[in-house]
């Protein structure tokens, strides 16, 4: 394929424009990365908090799904298990007898 000579300058301008657009994209991404980097510690701390909240929420959902209750402590700080069932067995579909 031979490019017509009248189109060569237009094609060159198009290539140059595309390069300029890519260069501008890179500048914008670098600027955004710097801005995010300036706030890295608070973002990391917030992420850790969200992970903890997600874990608490997942535990609560599992507890509700298993109809679980908290183990009461007696005055000596010991746990008295009544009608206890192993959640691993329940999750695996085994018949559990308390």
| Cα angle 17, 18, 20; round to 5 | 65
In a domain? residue 3: yes
Domain assignment present for 75: no
C-alpha to C-alpha distance for 96 and 94, rounded to whole angstroms: 6
Residue 90, in any domain of the structure? no
- For residue 73, what is the DSSP state? B
Q: How confident is the model at residue 2 (pLDDT cuts 50, 70, 90)?
A: confident
Q: Is residue 85 part of a domain?
A: no
Provide the H-helix boundaries in the chain: 8-38, 40-65, 87-91
Does a structural domain hold residue 9? yes
Domain that holds residue 28: 1-38
Whether residue 55 is contained in a domain is answered as: no
Report if residue 89 sits inside a domain: no
91: left (phi over 0), alpha (psi -120 to 50) or beta: alpha
Using a cut of 0.75, tell me whether the model's pTM lies above it. no
What domain count does the chain have? Answer: 1
Q: pLDDT per residue over 54-70, tens digit each?
A: 999 999 999 999 988 88
């Amino acid at each position: 394929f031979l490019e017509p000579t009248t189109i060569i300058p237009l094609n060159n301008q198009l290539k140059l424009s595309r390069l300029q657009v890519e260069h501008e994209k890179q500048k914008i991404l670098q600027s955004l990365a710097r801005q995010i980097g300036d706030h890295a510690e608070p973002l990391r701390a917030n992420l850790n908090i969200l992970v903890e909240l997600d874990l608490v929420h997942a535990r609560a959902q599992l507890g509700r799904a298993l109809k679980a209750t908290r183990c009461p402590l007696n005055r000596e700080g010991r746990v008295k298990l009544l009608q206890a069932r192993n959640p691993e067995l329940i999750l695996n579909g085994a018949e559990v007898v308390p």
